[in-house]
Homo-oligomer: A and B are copies of this chain.
Amino acid sequence: MRIRVAEDILKANDLIAQDIRSILDSARVFCVNILGSPGAGKTTLLEATLPRLRERYRAAVIQGDVETSIDGERMEALHVPVVQINTQGGCHLSAPMVSGAIGDFDLTETDLLFIENVGNLVCTASFALGEDMKVTALSVTEGDDKIRKYPTIFLNSKVLVITKTDLLPHVDFDFDKVAREAKLLNPDIHVVPVSAKTGAGIDNWLALLGKHIAVS
Q: A53: CB under 8 A from chain B?
A: no
| Cα distance A153–B98 in the bound complex, in angstroms | 25
Contact for A142 among B39, B89, B151, CB less than 8 A: B39
Q: A122: CB under 8 A from chain B?
A: yes
Q: A164: CB under 8 A from chain B?
A: yes
Q: A22: CB under 8 A from chain B?
A: no
Residue interface mask A92-128, B partner, CB < 8 A = 1? 0000000000000000000000000011111100100
Identify which of A24-32, A64-72, A207-215 touches chain B: A64-72
Q: Is the pair A164, B149 in contact by a Cβ cutoff of 8 Å?
A: no
Known contacts A2-B9, A37-B38; A70/B122 CB under 8 A: no
Chain A interface extent, by class? 35 or more
Instruction: Give the interface of A toward B (CB within 8 A).
Output: 2, 5, 9, 37-39, 65-68, 70-71, 89-91, 118-123, 126, 139, 141-143, 145-146, 148-152, 164, 166-167, 170-171
What are 28 A-B interface contacts by the 8 Å CB criterion? A5-B5, A37-B38, A37-B39, A37-B119, A38-B121, A38-B143, A38-B146, A38-B149, A39-B141, A39-B143, A39-B146, A65-B149, A66-B122, A66-B151, A67-B148, A68-B145, A70-B145, A71-B149, A89-B122, A90-B122, A91-B122, A118-B122, A119-B121, A122-B123, A141-B141, A141-B167, A167-B171, A170-B170
